[in-house]
Structure 1
């Protein structure tokens, strides 16, 4: 699926994310001052994030304050687990390995 991001620079993608974050804040009818204070970041930090500059931890704090942490799953979804891996995980161990195991008198340490 082509989202148009492949042809953009990293800086352009960051700016687009900042614009979307600003739009989300405005849709929630929240001021920069209010969101910054409640997310425990400075107003300048929030402004920088909305301009496409900032740290990942700051983005998470702002998303949490705006009630949008689910956006992280959309950004980086968990990889699906294959049916074979699920079957292996549910089985558990059935026997010990032959090498380095405990003898009849207990562990060999």
Structure 2
């Protein structure tokens, strides 16, 4: 049984904002914000590098001290929502989910003291 997660959401957001770019491709950028409705949640927005102008929005929530759940919320291309079932989008989404989980592992010092 896992212990109740106690974290300072602002500290965690700042740590994510600094650490996540390390896990992204050169040219990609990310913004991380606290989810105001969930003290264990984060909103991650990633702008993909390249001429396609894709952006991805994820909702991330800590289930416990070590487990992070990542859900795709939306994918846009040049500001217009696109079909998430396209193979290229699926591959990019899987890549970013992996990046987010890797970053979450690196930041366990904040969630699992």
What TM-score, normalized by structure 1, do the two folds share? 0.29
More helix by share: 1
Q: Which has the larger radius of gyration?
A: 1
RCO higher in 1 or 2 (8 Å CA, sep ≥ 6)?
Answer: 2
What TM-score, normalized by structure 2, do the two folds share? 0.29
More strand by share: 2
